[in-house]
Structure 1
Amino acid sequence: MASSSISALSLLIFTLLSLSSPLQTLSAASVIEDLNNLHPPPDFNTTISNNCKTNPSLKYCINFNPLNLPEIFKFTIVASHLCNESRNPNCVVSFPAINLQNRPKIAPLYLSFDFFWKYCPLTVSSIDLSNNSLKGNFPSDVFYCSQIQSLDLSQNHFSGEIPIQNFSVFTNLTFLNLSYNSFSESEISDSDELFKRFNASSFIHSGIIPDKRKFKIKALLFLTGFPVCVFLLVIFLWWICFSRPDFLPKFLRKKHKFTPSILKAATNGFSKKNLVAKSEGVRIYRGVLRDGTEIRIETYFDKIKFSREKRKDFVEECKVLVQLCHKNLVQVLGWCDNRRLRAVVTEWIEGESVEMWISRLDPPWKHRVKVLTKVVEGMMYLQEEWPGVGYDLKSSSILLSENREPLISRFRVEDESSCNKKVYKFGVLLLEMVTNRNPREEFEREEAGFVEWVRMHFPENMCSLIDEKKKRAEHMLDQATRSIELGLMCTDMSRGMQPRLDQIFEKLTAIYISILASASPDRKRVHGDRATGHRHIQSR
């Protein structure tokens, strides 16, 4: 630009700027508004024309159009002021550097003047907009200054994709700093040329390329975290499969197999609240499984570990017990086989034992005999289908369901199951229910002493064997006598004269029919029923 032209233009600019406070004290909105309200002076077209003749390399001289004069006018004003803001000595419209480093209030303003970048002076070789917390996408307007040798956009908040292909216009660019921004990571294939021209120091924490330190940290976390996650997953799956398989779908569970953890959860940690009975080495708990099934858990706690053979025998026994299926047997659901805990899990029966039933209600003969008959039915099923299975016939171990159905609840698999012993146990149960005496609590020798006491008083002293209220009717005394006689036959193991189970069933059936007959006004119908000899007695 000619010196005369520069002086005239500078005078115009300073005159315009003197009308208001300095630009740096104005807001962006007011400066833009002032620029829009300013119009080129009448001789501005002549000045620009003379400048282009003198220096045709000026950008606004290329494809000059008089319609662009207002835009060029604004550019000259902004360029002159930016020359001062950039601290360039001997400031003129043509200046060597744009330095707005650490000018967070000024830098966004000048960056918004796209008309300035469009006519960026060719004398500008360096642009420094660093440390201004600038936001948004890459400022593409700087590509208009294609002649620059240095570009510093570091320490900002630029984001999004970098127009890497556009960097080809910077043929003179020797220094580039895009560090500490949040650009999107670029594919290496598209940015190879850029990385060849500039080293990694130009892209530190820029987001353009993976941070090696972060990559190392991620790799370290992956190499350590992945095995740890796999290990924890294996531990979790092991715990699920071997400790709490009840969390698995039914088709993945081992049928009938319970773990200590399942039973512990079902009984709230084997709490005293869930303990329903205990004896030496045996405790019985009530529990609830995850699916809501109520169970009865008979546990055997041992101070010493079981041998492998004993544990194997226990499991084999339980595999037999879960197959038992009869209306007068409690259903065995499964077992728990552990080094320090063995348990047999059965269904929970919401009722009471025969012992409690007799002592609490003192039921009539008819009900007692019916219960005994049902017990024999269960015994006959076991004798025919599972002769190796033993069971406990104590009145405290036989449970009554809600409809008064007796259920044998405790079983065991015996190497040599003796039918004579089972018949003996039933005989004791029969005598206990007839006499209403508890052999385990009232006699020193328990069952043996109880049987001996019954034999000593039978039949001469029947009044001592049965309750007074049961001996008032003659037919009741006869039925009680027949029942005690049957019980003594069952407990007589010395002469080998014990009756078979089917014979016991027939005798009890006859006694039951006799009881019904004595209570029925239609004796003929009852006697007719007796003649048919029904094997199973229906509820009345």
Structure 2
Amino acid sequence: MDFDEIFKFTIVASHLCNESKNPNCVESFPKVDLRNRPNIAPLYLSFDFFWKYCPLSIMSIDLSNNSMKGGFPTDVFCCTQIQSLDLSINAFSGDIPIQSFSPLTNLTFLNLSYNCFSESKLSDSQFFKRFNSSSFLHSGALLDQKRFTLKAVALLVCFPTLVIFMVICLVWLCFQRPDFLPSKLQRGRRFTPAILKAATDGFSNKYLVGMSDVVHIYKGILRDGTEVKIEMYWDDIPRDSYRRFVEECKVLCKLHHKNLVKVLGWCKSRKFRAIITEWTREENVEMWLSGSGPPWNHRVKVLMGVVECMRYLQEEWPEIDYELDTSSLLLSDNMEPLISRFKVGDHNNNQRKIHRFGIFLLEMILNKRVQEEFGGGDAGFFTYMSRTLNLADLLQMIDERMEINETNFHQVKQTLSLGSMCIDQSKSEKLSLALILNTVSKAYKASLVLPSTNHRIFHRERFKGNVPLKTN
């Protein structure tokens, strides 16, 4: 035998007897009573040597109402002769070791109530038949019928409610905020009022960049960080017009060219309709021409981009009509022209498109001050030119800020001649977009060659007739 362990057991047992106020603890040790002793009970429960050598006289162990935690105290099974075990009103958890109770053949009273044991099928075991349900009240080990009923009711009520709530949320996302859904579940190019409201911070004035009686223009930021331009139209149109508006937007969303402002989608509601496009810089060609006075090679680059876009639309989307005004044509950061106003029109308007391009071409080359001095406005001015002025007269109106020299004079003259032919109704019918593209392309390629330093710059007074006057 381990005498050290026995000695320690003796000391503990003596003290435990004193704590239990048992007058016969020397002759016998029938009971361990540590109920309502939360500071001492865990200590004695930790003395495994005591339970190993506990006297055979111990018949009752009471550790109730001590708020002890942890698993079932299996050390008490060493006292195989006990008749009563009370572990109630604690916080024991885990499984009840049912099989370990088999050696306790004298155990007639057991109280495990008010604990946190794991739920188990005690009612189906022989162990449960040795005692009654009062031994396991609120222990967590028995199936609580009332609690089971509450769980079943909660499951039958809450689960369908949760499903309905999730369906409602999904429907709301689909119809109000599809931008929260994965890209595969989003509804194409259609935006909702809720998306536009979120993108503009509730249509805040700080995002408002322009407005009129019919249209409000906002800068918006979508959920993924994309900056967009939102044109909101507040006009009241018939239902058929709404349907036609949507069909046109579906077509416009399919256009893809570097010189076209990209249409991202549309929005249709009871109060307004909107077109959403990519956000571009605010500078248009008119501001660019009047402000910085760009050189010839920059202007012909813009003309080249416009003609290439015209060819793309004619070949792929002949039903698309567009505006070529300097006020509506925008510029990207790398000086690429962007046609910003276009719509679904008719197929038989090629002559009108060529005429518009001719006006735009002359606006790109001629001095704006000459146009402003003419009282008939832009349209009347170019009509007057097409009827009364020849190429030599047009050369006198060239914007001097382009600094025309010997190298690019021929390209400027050919381009002016092309513009004059485009606005001439009798000649524009014979022009094809292929011929226009070829002429502008030659001028553009020639502008890419840097002029040498000895090339002279010609002024307006030198443009006489079809060729410049030379000097020694």
Shared topology, TM-score over 0.5? yes
From 126, 150, 164, the counterpart of 2:98: 164
Fraction of identical pairs, as percent: 44
Instruction: Please give the secondary structure, in 1, of the residue aligned with 2:315.
Output: helix
- 1:120 counterpart = 2:64: no
SS of residue in 1 equivalent to 2:110: strand
Residue matched to 1:179: 113
Cα distance in 1 between the residues matched to 2:130 and 2:244: 80
Shift of 1:413: 0.7
Pairing 1:36–2:7 present = yes
Structure 2 residue runs of 5 or longer lacking an equivalent are 456-472
Change (3 A) 1:95 1:312: same
C-alpha separation in 2, matches of 1:219 and 1:192: 25
**CA deviations over 1:108-161 (Å, ceiling 9, x no partner):** 67765336744126xx5x55432234455335436736462x443212343444
Q: Where does residue 288 of structure 2 map in the other structure?
A: 357
> How far off is 1:395 after superposition?
0.8
Task: Answer 1 or 2: higher relative contact order, Cα 8 Å, separation at least 6.
Answer: 2
| Structure 1 residues 109 and 416: alpha-carbon distance in aligned structure 2, compared to 1, 3 A threshold | closer
Q: Aligned residue for 2:465?
A: none
| Aligned match of 1:199 | 132
Equivalent residue for 2:302? 371
Shift of 1:277: 4.7
Aligned partner of 1:394 in structure 2 is 325
Contact 1:459/1:481, CA 8 A, preserved across alignment: no
Shift of 1:188: 3.8
Q: State the shift of 1:251 in Å.
A: 5.0
Q: Deviations over 1:359-417 (max 9, x none)?
A: 11233556545634542343233223322111111112222344543332322112565
2:132 is the counterpart of 1:132:
no
What is the alpha-carbon distance in structure 2 between the residues aligned to residue 364 and residue 81 of structure 1? 107
Q: Once the two structures are superposed, what CA deviation does each residue of 1:181-213 show, in whole Å capped at 9, x if it has no partner?
A: 233433447x62233343333212323234555
SS of equivalent residue, structure 1 residue 297: strand
1:412 match: secondary structure = strand
Deviation at 1:105, TM superposition (A): 5.8
Q: Which residues in structure 2 correspond to 1:441-520 (within 5 Å)?
A: 448-451=379-382, 458=389, 466=397, 469=400, 490-491=422-423, 498-502=429-433, 505=436, 509=440, 512=443
Task: State the TM-score, normalized to the length of structure 1.
Answer: 0.62
The residue number in structure 2 matching 1:336 is 266
1:85 is matched with 20
What amino acid is aligned across from residue 130 of structure 1 in structure 2?
Answer: S
Give the aligned residue type for 1:199. N
SS in 1 for 2:113: coil
1:165-187 superposed Cα distances (whole Å, 9 cap, x missing partner) = 34345556554321122334334
| Structure 1 unmatched ranges of 5 or more | 1-31, 38-70, 523-540
Alpha carbons of 1:253 and 1:161: their partners in 2 closer, same or farther (altered >3 Å)? closer
Which of the two has higher C-alpha Rg? 1
- Asked if 2 retains the 8 angstrom alpha-carbon contact of 1:398 and 1:408, the reply is yes
**2:71 equivalent to 1:141:** no
Larger fraction in helix: 1
Provide Cα deviations, 1:460-513, integer angstroms capped at 9, x if missing partner.
9959993684899999999999877765664566x7965534387179649959
Aligned to 1:300: 232
TM-score normalised per structure 2: 0.69
Give the conservation status (yes or no) of the 8 Å contact 1:185–1:207: yes
Equivalent AA in structure 2 for residue 164 of structure 1: I
Q: Which deviates more from structure 2 when the two are superposed, residues 425-434 or residues 272-281? A: 272-281
Contact 1:455 1:488 in 2 (8 A): yes
Q: Closer, same or farther in 2 for the Cα pair 1:487/1:33, shift >3 Å?
A: same
Give the 3 Å change call, closer, same or farther, for CA 153–279 of structure 1 in structure 2: same
Equivalents in 2 of 1:115, 1:506: separation in Å? 105
**Aligned residue pair count:** 444
SS at match of 2:119: coil
Residues 245-276 of structure 1 deviation map (CA, whole Å, 9 limit, x = unaligned): 55555555555455555555555555555555
SS across alignment from 1:141: helix
Shift of 1:225: 4.2
Question: For the Cα contact (< 8 Å) 2:77–2:100, is it kept in 1?
Answer: no
CA distance 1:500–1:317, shift in 2 (3 Å): farther
C-alpha distance in 1 between matches for 2:294 and 2:89 = 95
Deviates more, 1:109-118 or 1:162-171: 109-118
Q: Secondary structure at the match of 1:375?
A: helix
Local SS of the residue matching 1:352: coil
Q: Match for residue 429 of structure 1?
A: 360
C-alpha separation in 1, matches of 2:238 and 2:369:
35
Determine if contact 1:373/1:509 at 8 Å carries over to the other structure: yes
The 1-side partners of 2:300 and 2:16 are apart by 119
* 2:436 counterpart letter in structure 1: F
